[in-house]
Structure 1
Amino acid sequence: MSAALALVLPCYNPPAEWAANVLSSLQRLQQTLPAGTTVHLYLVNDGSTRGVSDADLQLLRAALPAEAFTYLSYPANRGKGHALRTGVQQVQEPLCLFTDIDFPYEETSMATLYQALHSQRCDLAVGVRDDAYYAQVPAARRRVSRLLRRLTRTLLRLPIDDTQCGLKGFNAKGRALFLQTTTDRYLFDLELLLLASRQPAVRTEPVPVALKPGVVLSPLNVRVLLTESRNLLRLLGR
Structure 2
Amino acid sequence: MLLYFLQLIGLLVAGYALGKVINLVTLITKEFTEPIVCTLEDPDSTAPVPCPSIFDAPTKALSCIVPAYNEEDRLSSTLDEALAYLQRRRDRQGPQFTYEVIIVDDGSTDGTARVAQGYVRRYGLDTVRLLRVSSNRGKGHAVKRGMLVSRGEYCLLMDADGATRFADLEKLEAGLERVMQPGFSRSPRPSPSAAPTTATSPSSASSGGPSQQGPLGVAYGSRAHLHKDAIVKRSRLRNFLTRGFHVLVYLVAGGRVRDTQCGFKLFTRRSAAILFSNQRLQRWCFDVELLYLAEQLGIPVTEVFVNWTEIPGSKIRFTSIILMALELAVLKIAYQVMGSWAIHSEVMLAKKAT
> TM-score, structure 1 length as denominator?
0.84
Runs of 4+ in 1 over 6 A off after TM superposition: none
Equivalent residue, structure 1, for 2:166: 107
Q: How many aligned residue pairs are there?
A: 232
Query: Partners of 1:78 and 1:134 in 2: how far apart?
Result: 33
Q: Mind listing any 5+ residue stretches in structure 1 that lack a counterpart?
A: none
What's the CA shift string for 1:47-81, capped at 9, x where partnerless?
10113253x23430233232112211123110001
Equivalent residue, structure 2, for 1:179: 277
Q: Sequence identity, in percent?
A: 26
2:284 is the counterpart of 1:167: no
Higher helix fraction (1 or 2) = 2
In the alignment, is the contact (CA less than 8 A) between 1:133 and 1:211 conserved in 2? Answer: no
Query: Partners of 2:130 and 2:168 in 1: how far apart?
Result: 25
Alignment equivalent of 1:67, drawn from 122, 126, 131: 126
Letter in 2 for 1:86: R
Q: Mind listing any 5+ residue stretches in structure 2 that lack a counterpart?
A: 1-59, 181-216, 337-354
2:155 is the counterpart of 1:96: yes
Question: What is the CA RMSD across the aligned residues, in angstroms?
Answer: 2.6
Structural mapping, 1:46-61, within 5 Å: 46-54=106-114, 56-61=115-120
In the alignment, is the contact (CA less than 8 A) between 1:150 and 1:161 conserved in 2? Answer: no
Distance 1:53 1:170, change over 3 A: closer
Alignment equivalent of 1:227, drawn from 314, 317, 323: 323
Query: Partners of 2:302 and 2:80 in 1: how far apart?
Result: 28
What's the CA shift string for 1:126-162, capped at 9, x where partnerless?
1121343664675465554443223333564332232
Distance 1:191 1:60, change over 3 A: same
2:64 is the counterpart of 1:7: yes
2:164 is paired with a residue of what secondary structure? coil
Compute the displacement of 1:235 (Å).
Answer: 1.7
Letter in 1 for 2:246: R
Compute the displacement of 1:19 (Å).
Answer: 2.3
Equivalent residue, structure 1, for 2:54: none
Distance 1:57 1:199, change over 3 A: closer
What's the CA shift string for 1:19-70, capped at 9, x where partnerless?
244123321354468623222101100010113253x234302332321122
In the alignment, is the contact (CA less than 8 A) between 1:46 and 1:73 conserved in 2? Answer: yes
Query: Partners of 2:126 and 2:258 in 1: how far apart?
Result: 37
